[in-house]
Amino acid sequence: MHFYGSTGINSKGNLEIGGLDAIDLAREYGTPLYVYDVALIRERARGFKQAFDEQKVQAQVAYASKAFSTIAMLQLAEEEGLSLDVVSGGELYTALAAGFPVERIHFHGNNKSREELEMALENRIGCIVVDNFYELNLLKLICNEKNTMVKILLRVTPGIEAHTHDYILTGQEDSKFGFDLQNGQAEEALSAALQFENFDVLGIHCHIGSQIFETTGFLLAAEKLIEKLNKWKNKLSFEAKVLNLGGGFGIRYTKEDEPLLPYQYVSEIIKEVKSLVSSFSLSMPEIWIEPGRSLVGDSGITLYKIGSSKEVPGVRKYLAVDGGMSDNIRPALYQAKYEAVLANKPLEKADETVSIAGKCCESGDMLIWDLPLPKQGDEDILAVFCTGAYGYSMSNNYNRLPRPAVVFVENGKSALVVKRETYEDLIRLDLPLK
Ligand SMILES: *Cc1c(COP(=O)(O)O)cnc(C)c1O
């Protein structure tokens, strides 16, 4: 069994997280329950920052808040000195409500509305990552109307698609995001942006994929971007202050996954950027990165109560839990894989293989296929590991299931940071026929 961070086994033989018994947590807060190991989030954040600090490289590590955006989480990110990416008015609103320092907020997205851009400008956030010509013009218009300056990055697509185990070089990227680097769009956007005096163009941004285990894709992206920066220095007299290489750093969901540590990703990126920059005699830009999954993914555990089961003789045994695709849609959406144990007997030898089903009315509502487990008893608690990213943030009320509570644990203390939804909450916005 692989345990993450401060997860382990206590003297009762139960699963323990942050010094607290998982069974006690399930009893106190109910199930399903998202539990976060706060110490592990801090460790990941520090890991990303450490290499920059040691090498004295100016940097921002921006938490991509779409992975898990709640007020307490954003306050934790602030405590750890992270910056923040938001991709919608709602995420920005959450950041403002959390009191997140506005100058460290970056706004992403391929279709920001006028209202969202105005909200960003009115709140004087750190920068807007401009994605397309429509947005460039809209932002220009709003800056004129408001007679205000704005810091921007241009999002470019470098023609690299990075996946878990490989990367693909594409001449022209078929993506809804960003200005293409190869076909001249990026250069056209940059020269247009540089002509508008209300834009302070800080630099360029790219994001090449997600759940990436190797550094090759990041290094190639850095190379493509810096080559262009060299060209643009000569042609447009533009020198980037910021090189943002995005997020996508992988984590370990199952034993097949072998990610690097945050420190290792960053160290290799720094090395490559330094060497490229010096080979072109450019000045060293700030390096920004945007980890989402890798900051919060492996610190989250979901606790479920086990309920009904069904044997299909000779085929499989289904074991149902009191949640499912409503609190974790990733298996249904991406065939994502997870590991799990019974929290009240995590070390007991497995004596059967079961498949964990959710309780939603969808055959595709399965959480784990073919999980080895010991014999289950009534009231057993299943702990699914590594659910901290894109779990709660993608949760939904399908079948009108109330969304679970979220609890932070650290040093033997727990704190409720998101309340469990009630049935009342479910009908809060409904209006009667007359
Ligand atoms: C989603 C996203 C991220 C974070 O991706 P992870 O895989 O969660 O690290 C970072 N930057 C941008 C622009 C994104 O869209």
Structure confidence by residue, pLDDT tens digits, 19-32? 999 999 999 999 99
**45 within domain boundaries:** no
Express each pLDDT in 99-133 by its tens digit.
999 999 999 999 999 999 999 999 999 999 999 99
pTM: 0.97
The domain that holds 114 is classified in CATH as 3.20.20.10
Task: Assess whether 195 and 280 both reside in one domain.
Answer: yes
Express each pLDDT in 356-369 by its tens digit.
999 999 999 999 99
Cα(393) to centroid(ligand 1), Å = 13
> What pLDDT does 81 receive?
98
- Looking at 291, 322, 341, the residue that finishes a domain is 291
The domain that holds 390 is classified in CATH as 2.40.37.10
**99 within domain boundaries:** no
Cα(410) to centroid(ligand 1), Å = 26
Tell me which residue of 120, 36, 121, 89 sits closest to 407, measured CA to CA: 36
The residue assigned the tokens 């205000």 is 148
- Looking at 291, 323, 347, the residue that finishes a domain is 291
**203 within domain boundaries:** yes
**282 within domain boundaries:** yes
Our mutation pick for probing the ligand 1 site, out of 73, 85, 163, counting the most ligand atoms within 8 A of Cβ, is 85
Task: Assess whether 140 and 279 both reside in one domain.
Answer: yes
323: three-class secondary structure by DSSP: coil
Atom of ligand 1 nearest to the CA of 209: 7
> What pLDDT does 169 receive?
76
> What pLDDT does 173 receive?
74
What mean pLDDT do residues 336-364 have? 97
- The confidence band for 166, taking pLDDT boundaries of 50, 70 and 90, is confident
Tell me which residue of 130, 266, 274, 126 sits closest to 194, measured CA to CA: 130
Catalytic residue IDs: 361
- pLDDT reading at 175 higher than 80: yes
Q: Confirm whether residue 248 is marked as ligand binding.
A: yes
Task: Assess whether 248 and 354 both reside in one domain.
Answer: no
> What pLDDT does 193 receive?
98
Angstrom distances, CA of residue 303 to CA of 75, 299, 316, 379, 405: 24, 13, 23, 12, 11
- Looking at 270, 291, 312, the residue that finishes a domain is 291
Task: Assess whether 321 and 208 both reside in one domain.
Answer: no
Cα(247) to centroid(ligand 1), Å = 5
Q: Confirm whether residue 32 is marked as ligand binding.
A: no
Task: Assess whether 196 and 285 both reside in one domain.
Answer: yes
Express each pLDDT in 230-254 by its tens digit.
999 999 999 999 999 999 999 999 9
Task: Assess whether 351 and 379 both reside in one domain.
Answer: yes
**84 within domain boundaries:** no
Our mutation pick for probing the ligand 1 site, out of 88, 177, 290, 393, counting the most ligand atoms within 8 A of Cβ, is 290
User: Is there a contact between 62 and 105 (Cβ–Cβ < 8 Å)?
Assistant: no
Q: Confirm whether residue 47 is marked as ligand binding.
A: no
Task: Assess whether 245 and 313 both reside in one domain.
Answer: no
Task: Assess whether 282 and 324 both reside in one domain.
Answer: no
Task: Assess whether 362 and 284 both reside in one domain.
Answer: no
Express each pLDDT in 272-308 by its tens digit.
999 999 999 999 999 999 999 999 999 999 999 999 9
Residue 208: burial class (beta carbons within 10 Å; 0-12, 13-18, 19+) = buried
> What pLDDT does 237 receive?
97
- The confidence band for 165, taking pLDDT boundaries of 50, 70 and 90, is confident
Instruction: Kindly report the protein residue whose alpha carbon is nearest to atom 15 of ligand 1.
Output: 207
Domain span at residue 354?
A: 8-37+297-426
- The token pair that represents 177 in the structure block: 């995001």
Cα gap 91→341, rounded to integer Å: 33
Cα(133) to centroid(ligand 1), Å = 22
How many domains does the chain fold into?
2
Q: Confirm whether residue 223 is marked as ligand binding.
A: no
Half-sphere exposure of 306 (CA within 13 A, CB side): 24
Cα(177) to centroid(ligand 1), Å = 12
Atom of ligand 1 nearest to the CA of 211: 7
Q: Confirm whether residue 118 is marked as ligand binding.
A: no
Cα gap 117→124, rounded to integer Å: 10
Task: Assess whether 262 and 364 both reside in one domain.
Answer: no
User: Is there a contact between 173 and 159 (Cβ–Cβ < 8 Å)?
Assistant: yes
What mean pLDDT do residues 178-182 have? 95
Our mutation pick for probing the ligand 1 site, out of 163, 207, 245, counting the most ligand atoms within 8 A of Cβ, is 207
**46 within domain boundaries:** no
Pocket of ligand 1 (CB under 6 A): 64, 66-67, 85, 108, 207, 210, 246-249, 290-294, 389
Would you list the DSSP string of 146-184? HT--EEEEEEEE-SEEE-SS-EEE-SS---SSSEESSSS
> What pLDDT does 171 receive?
61
- The token pair that represents 282 in the structure block: 């450019």
Neighbours of 434 (CB within 10 A): 3
Cα gap 243→226, rounded to integer Å: 8
**73 within domain boundaries:** no
**321 within domain boundaries:** yes
- The confidence band for 164, taking pLDDT boundaries of 50, 70 and 90, is confident
Task: Assess whether 126 and 271 both reside in one domain.
Answer: yes
Task: Assess whether 246 and 382 both reside in one domain.
Answer: no
